[in-house]
Amino acid sequence: MARTVKDIFCRFKTLQGFQVNRKGGWDTHGLPVELQVEKELGITKDDIGKKISVEEYNQKCRETVMKYKDQWDDLTLKMGYWVDLKKPYITYEKEYIESLWWILKQLYDKQLLYKWYTIQPYSPAAGTGLSSHELNLPGCYKDVKDTSIVAQFKITRSAKSEFLFKSTNKNIFVLAWTTTPWTLPSNTALAIGEKITYVQVNTFNSYTHKPISVVLAKALIGKYFSDKNKDLKLEEYKAGIRIFHFRLFRNLQAKIW
């Protein structure tokens, strides 16, 4: 698809009578090839210069990156892509690299380069930043289990909140789940869903073992409280046990918040 899109515009201008020099080329992406070579040789980045010389490593990468060139050339001819394949540019060749350094020098002399900061994807294993192309390679993503936290935001008791949070417990908290706890110090508000039914549950703090009331989405009660414990009496709760007695106190609609 990418080659077809590239072909359309150049072909259109050619048919209009313009001279369009169309040179084939190979962007010899570094990191994916490096990882493939290291896997084939059974080495890591730390082994370069020890188990294998830098020159040998670079040569192996040059050979590997062009491994499927013939297949690309064959596809190019079959789809009728108008491009010169006899003298392609190859980004790892010294002439190409030097030409880029020359261009950067021109930009520098014209004061068109500047230093700035941006957030980039980073690979700790490879020790380098990652391009969007590299992030989209097969096998880059996998489902993993990670640690998250549930923060308790204490309700400030006032005449305004009394009709919402009626409870004998003075400690009433809204539960909020997050996988980015480092953002909590800067939080200024909690978001609630207009169509979500919330509930106020009377239970006990699992660390202090003191009575508390918590507010959470009704559909998520099972994530925090076991259904088999719903009939346990609050007054029979004993500190130190991992069985959380709870009682559904009342429903809360977001629209009345």
Q: Is the pLDDT of residue 101 over 90?
A: yes
Contact 22, 83 (CB under 8 A): yes
Supply the mean pLDDT for the chain.
82
Residue 139 burial by Cβ neighbours in a 10 Å radius (0-12, 13-18, 19+): exposed
Instruction: Please give the pLDDT value at position 233.
Output: 65
Binning pLDDT at 50, 70 and 90, where does residue 247 land? Answer: low
142-193 pLDDT per residue, tens: 778 877 888 888 887 665 655 565 555 667 888 888 888 888 888 888 888 8
User: Which residues lie closer than 8 Å to 81 by C-beta, 6 or more apart?
Assistant: 3, 4, 7
Residue 201 one-letter amino acid = V
CATH level 2 (architecture), domain 2-135: 3-Layer(aba) Sandwich (3.40)
β-sheet with 172-178: strand ranges across: 149-154, 172-178, 211-217, 197-204, 247-253
Distances (CA, A) of 118 to 30, 97, 115, 129: 21, 25, 10, 11
Domain residue spans of the chain = 2-135, 149-182+190-256
Q: Which residue has the higher pLDDT, 128 or 71?
A: 71
pLDDT per position as a tens digit, 39-73: 999 998 889 999 999 999 999 999 999 888 899 89
